[in-house]
Structure 1
Amino acid sequence: MAEQLTEDDWVVWDAFYAMRRRLDRALEVRLQSDSGVSAPEYEILAGLGRSSDRRLRVRDIAEQIGWEKSRVSHQVTRMEKRGLVRRSDCDSDGRGTWVELSVEGRRAMLEASRGHNAAIKRYFVDVLGEDAPELHEFALRVVAAIREDASAD
């Protein structure tokens, strides 16, 4: 039998859930209005932008952002059609391909980053203030608990 949540547990969960959803939505709206880039596109563009040679394998992108490889592959196909990325063969693995940041993708990523960073600062960093270390520790504990359960499966 699953453990029951108390009324206080639900109050905290509901506040956290509402905050997370509204923050995600506010950041998505900002990305779309500033650069026409969606949050999923930005996650991939930013990961490619942080890569030393501006390219990653689909499996590496999936691992970075916590998606299934098939979802990443479909998203990359849509982004390729928009000219944000391009695929190229992987010499070391005949079955693999690289996903590379295009010139247009780099421009879109940089344009999106300015507004995205400003929104994160306004809606999160500035509001969090001195509580940042506690939230950081909390986030690490939640991720560790999820990893622990996943590795037990």
Structure 2
Amino acid sequence: MTAVEGRTLADEDATWRVFLGMSRDWFIVMERALGQAADASVADLELLEPLLDAGECGLRAKDLAAAAEWQDSRVSHQLRRMEQRGLVARARDREDARGTVVRLTEAGVRSAQVARETRRRVVRRIILDVLSPQELETLIEAADRIRGAVAEVAAQS
């Protein structure tokens, strides 16, 4: 019997509901925590952390998109919003005038540091404090397999 055999529509529906609910609840809690602590969003965090890791040299916008696993256009729109809030500065790449380098401002560094610590605190509280080491390993392995299946489906469409 394969993994799919023996599963019912009720199993599929329950899986969908628990995944959707968990995803929604997780996102709401993280958005609220980041907003309160760092005046940042989950979208901000996805760009702030790679920029924080890059340090003063910053990142090319294209490399930032790859780090965040976002399309270039989404990065561009998010950076515009973050630039208006004084978190990032963009400049032409000196090595390739067609490219843009993104750097955190002083306010961006502070926001990124607080956002990262907030993210770590929420992950500890919601996942690490709840799951055993074995459950955490299983979660990570399952999530990796699910992401692989999602990538396959996305490539087919």
Q: TM-score, normalised by structure 2?
A: 0.86
Q: Secondary structure at the match of 1:128?
A: coil
**Structure 1 residue 52: Cα displacement:** 5.1
Residue 62 of structure 2: aligned partner: 59
- The separation in 1 between residues aligned to 2:83 and 2:148, in whole angstroms, is 35
Larger mean CA deviation between 97-106 and 49-58 belongs to 49-58
Q: Give yes or no for contact 1:54–1:101 (8 Å, CA) kept in 2.
A: no
Unaligned runs of 5+ in 1: none
Divergent runs of 4+, >6 A? none
1:77 is aligned, of 73, 77, 80, to: 80
Q: Percent identity?
A: 33
- The separation in 2 between residues aligned to 1:5 and 1:65, in whole angstroms, is 36
Unaligned runs of 5+ in 2: 1-6
**Structure 1 residue 5: Cα displacement:** 6.5
Partner amino acid, structure 2, of 1:103? E
1:90 matched to 2:93? The reply is: yes
1:8 matched to 2:11? The reply is: yes
Q: Secondary structure at the match of 2:40?
A: coil
- The separation in 2 between residues aligned to 1:69 and 1:48, in whole angstroms, is 16
Q: TM-score, normalised by structure 1?
A: 0.88
Partner amino acid, structure 2, of 1:24? F
**Structure 1 residue 42: Cα displacement:** 1.4
Map 1:124-135 → 2, pairs under 5 A: 124-130=127-133, 131-135=135-139
Residue 105 of structure 2: aligned partner: 102
Partner amino acid, structure 2, of 1:137? E
